[in-house]
Amino acid sequence: MRLVYMPRVLIVDDSAAVRGILCDLLSENFDCDTAGSAEVAFQCFEAETYDVILTDVALPDASGIDLMKQVRLRDSETPVIMISGTLDEEQIQAAMQSGAFAYVKKPFDLDEIEQVVKRAFAKTCEAREEAFQNTR
């Protein structure tokens, strides 16, 4: 019997509809967990290891950038993709300077978001392979 690794994605958005759409879209290739707030997301991140985090910038209890900074304290390699309903240049720059893998504007194209998540997962795989090679 061969076990297959299913990559894990954490989807963080205060909209249940957005979480559902993203989970439906990604669940064929990823094991998806969802959270409606930064607090719940961080609890998930403390309990599980994720290959990619997809978060809204505007959350009810913190910004997605604040969440990303907290994630970075625990794991500097996990790619974080920001999604937002606004295209504020300062916000985009702040997100990218804080280490966001990508910034995608809502409403997003489903094919685009799927490709961005796949690219982020590929980055995770490369980082893990490099870390493995450095331990040999």
Looking at residue 15, the DSSP 8-state letter turns out to be -
Single-letter amino acid, residue 23: C
Task: Specify the pTM.
Answer: 0.89
pLDDT per residue over 107-121, tens digit each?
Answer: 889 999 999 999 999
Cis, bond preceding 60 (omega within 30 deg of 0): no
Can you tell me the distance from the alpha carbon of 98 to that of 135, in angstroms, rounded to the nearest whole number? 28
Can you tell me the distance from the alpha carbon of 77 to that of 41, in angstroms, rounded to the nearest whole number? 17
pLDDT per residue over 18-62, tens digit each?
Answer: 999 999 999 999 999 999 999 999 999 889 989 999 999 999 999
CATH architecture type of domain 8-127? 3-Layer(aba) Sandwich (3.40)
Can you tell me the distance from the alpha carbon of 50 to that of 78, in angstroms, rounded to the nearest whole number? 7
pLDDT for 97 beyond 80:
yes
Backbone angles phi, psi at 84, to 5 degrees: -155, 150
Give the CA diameter of the chain: 51
pLDDT value of residue 136? 65
Can you tell me the distance from the alpha carbon of 32 to that of 51, in angstroms, rounded to the nearest whole number? 10
